[in-house]
């Protein structure tokens, strides 16, 4: 008989629903392998009734996108009083906002690309034609345009021609009420997972991302074989060490718990530039954090059980 009962929350109604369901299946399978009693439920209107009936020891939300990562569901789980694998509602809310998180991280001395954040309301009220020239005066192309909130590269685009900036911003605003225009940094794209199973946060080996198409978009993320990964990343040992230190620092600075994944660009001089952090990283078969665990010689089953146990014990 398992000494632990974990209820995994997956699905939801965001654009990343299918990714979440895939993550949920993988987490449940790994927990079963570790001898943990675990099941998954599609987070919906009956969730509180399910929690009342089952009374699990721990809840593990693997929800991606709005609702799952913006702190709102976590706030409800905190009200219910069930231990959660993951960060607090307050920390998740901060990390979910790319502009706010970047501001916190930049104050700690980490390199963050220059950026401008604009809301749909400002562009509507002041007129995009009058605002955009001011943006390109400060941030000449190439730039990256992305929703301030969201993940899986949905709504993200690289702009090399000023004439295409407005279109890219509209694409980003199709996923959010605000968009972030960010200096395009040329270098190696790297993701670093951080886990804390009760002994303090530690970094997993950095994963280098080399998509066949040149862009790590939604299809490249979740289509098997569409991206080549190298773990550890093909970088100098001192750069790998710096990435580990800075990723743990990001995790700590934002007050995160259990697990996170920081995304970076490493320039030719070995400088890591922080892009964003994910408090509910994908845990699918092609996701980066599980790849790093396996590449490090670790076991997903062992780690996931330890994360669940640590969540229960810190409550």
Q: What is the mean pLDDT of residues 14-25?
A: 89
The helix (H) or strand (E) run that includes residue 144 is strand 143-147
Q: Which of 26, 93, 221, 261 is catalytic?
A: 261
Query: Both 99 and 198 in a single domain?
Result: yes
Q: Is residue 50 part of a domain?
A: yes
Query: Both 162 and 256 in a single domain?
Result: no
Query: Both 22 and 138 in a single domain?
Result: no
What is the domain extent for residue 131? 115-183
Give me the chain's average pLDDT, please.
92
The pLDDT score that the predictor gives to residue 253 is 97
- Catalytic residue check, 222: yes
Q: Is residue 310 part of a domain?
A: no
pLDDT beyond 80 at 1: no
Q: Of 141, 158, 183, which residue sits at a domain end? A: 183
pLDDT beyond 70 at 129: yes
Q: Is residue 61 part of a domain?
A: yes
pLDDT in tens, 203-251: 999 999 987 755 545 454 545 566 799 999 999 999 999 999 999 999 9
The pLDDT score that the predictor gives to residue 82 is 94
pLDDT beyond 60 at 56: yes
Query: Both 221 and 165 in a single domain?
Result: no
Query: Both 290 and 229 in a single domain?
Result: yes
Q: Which of 276, 280, 304, 312 is catalytic?
A: 276
Tally of structural domains, the chain: 3
Contact assessment for residue 69 and residue 63, using Cβ atoms and an 8 Å cutoff: yes
Q: What is the CATH number of the domain that holds 212?
A: 3.30.470.20
Q: Of 142, 160, 183, which residue sits at a domain end? A: 183
pLDDT beyond 80 at 291: yes
The pLDDT score that the predictor gives to residue 222 is 47
pLDDT in tens, 169-188: 999 999 999 999 999 999 99
Between CA 89 and CA 97 the distance in angstroms is 13
Q: What is the CATH number of the domain that holds 15?
A: 3.40.50.20
pLDDT beyond 90 at 59: yes
Q: Is residue 132 part of a domain?
A: yes
Query: Both 102 and 214 in a single domain?
Result: yes
Residue 133 CB contacts under 8 Å (≥ 6 apart), including other chains: none
Q: Which of 14, 87, 278, 287 is catalytic?
A: 278
Query: Both 102 and 137 in a single domain?
Result: no
- Catalytic residue check, 282: yes
- Catalytic residue check, 276: yes
- Catalytic residue check, 151: no
Query: Both 193 and 240 in a single domain?
Result: yes
Q: Is residue 314 part of a domain?
A: no
- The percentage of residues in the chain with a pLDDT greater than 90, rounded to a whole number, is 84
Q: What is the CATH number of the domain that holds 153?
A: 3.30.1490.20
Both ends of the chain: CA-CA distance in Å? Answer: 22
Q: Of 160, 183, 206, which residue sits at a domain end? A: 183
Per the listing, tokens 């699905």 go with: 11
Query: Both 103 and 236 in a single domain?
Result: yes
Q: For the chain, how many residues are written?
A: 315
Confidence of residue 142 (pLDDT cuts 50, 70, 90): very high
Q: Which of 14, 23, 115, 152 is catalytic?
A: 152
Q: Which of 16, 57, 176, 208 is catalytic?
A: 16
Q: Is residue 13 part of a domain?
A: yes
Report the largest interatomic distance among the alpha carbons of the chain, rounded to a whole angstrom. 66
Q: Is residue 46 part of a domain?
A: yes
pLDDT beyond 50 at 60: yes
Query: Both 274 and 134 in a single domain?
Result: no
Between CA 120 and CA 98 the distance in angstroms is 16
Q: Which of 257, 263, 287, 312 is catalytic?
A: 263
Between CA 31 and CA 105 the distance in angstroms is 33
Chain centroid to CA 270? 23
If 0-12 CB within 10 Å is exposed, 13-18 middle and 19+ buried, where does residue 274 land? buried
Query: Both 30 and 55 in a single domain?
Result: yes
Between CA 124 and CA 132 the distance in angstroms is 12
Give residue 195's region: left, alpha or beta (phi > 0; psi -120 to 50). beta
Q: What is the mean pLDDT of residues 262-289?
A: 95
Query: Both 41 and 18 in a single domain?
Result: yes
pTM of the model: 0.92
Alpha-carbon distances, residue 155 vs 147, 176, 181, 184 (angstroms): 6, 9, 12, 16
- Of residues 68 and 221, the one with the higher pLDDT is 68
The helix (H) or strand (E) run that includes residue 195 is strand 188-195
The pLDDT score that the predictor gives to residue 214 is 57
The helix (H) or strand (E) run that includes residue 313 is helix 300-313
DSSP 275-287: EEEESS---STT-
The pLDDT score that the predictor gives to residue 97 is 96
- Catalytic residue check, 16: yes
């Amino acid at each position: 008989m398992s000494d632990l009962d974990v209820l995994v929350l997956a699905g939801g109604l965001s654009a990343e629903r299918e990714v979440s369901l895939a993550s949920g299946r993988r987490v449940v399978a790994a927990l079963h392998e570790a001898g943990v009693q675990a099941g998954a439920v599609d987070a919906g209107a009956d969730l509180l009734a399910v929690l009342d009936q089952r009374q699990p020891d721990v809840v593990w939300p693997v929800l991606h996108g709005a609702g799952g990562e913006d702190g709102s569901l976590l706030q409800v789980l905190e009200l219910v009083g069930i231990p959660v694998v993951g960060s607090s509602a307050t920390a998740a809310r901060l990390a979910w906002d790319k502009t706010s998180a970047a501001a916190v991280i930049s104050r700690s001395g980490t390199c963050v690309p220059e950026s401008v954040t604009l809301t749909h309301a400002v562009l509507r009220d002041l007129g995009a034609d009058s605002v955009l020239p001011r943006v390109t005066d400060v941030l000449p192309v190439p730039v990256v345009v992305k929703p301030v909130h969201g993940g899986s590269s949905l709504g993200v685009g690289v702009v090399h021609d000023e004439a295409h900036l407005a279109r890219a911003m509209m694409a980003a605003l199709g996923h959010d009420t605000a968009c972030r225009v960010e200096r395009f940094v040329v270098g190696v794209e790297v993701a670093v997972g951080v886990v804390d199973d009760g002994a303090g946060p530690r970094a997993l080996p950095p994963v280098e991302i080399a998509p066949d198409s040149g862009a790590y978009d939604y299809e490249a993320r979740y289509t098997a074989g569409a991206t080549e990964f190298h773990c550890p990343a093909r970088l100098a040992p001192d750069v790998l060490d710096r990435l580990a230190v800075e990723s743990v620092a990001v995790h700590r600075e934002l007050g995160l718990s259990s697990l996170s994944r920081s995304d970076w660009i490493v320039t030719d001089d070995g400088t890591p530039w922080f892009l964003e952090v994910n408090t509910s990283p994908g845990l699918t078969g092609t996701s980066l954090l599980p790849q790093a665990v396996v590449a490090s010689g670790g076991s997903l089953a062992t780690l996931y059980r330890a994360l669940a146990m640590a969540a229960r014990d810190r409550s």
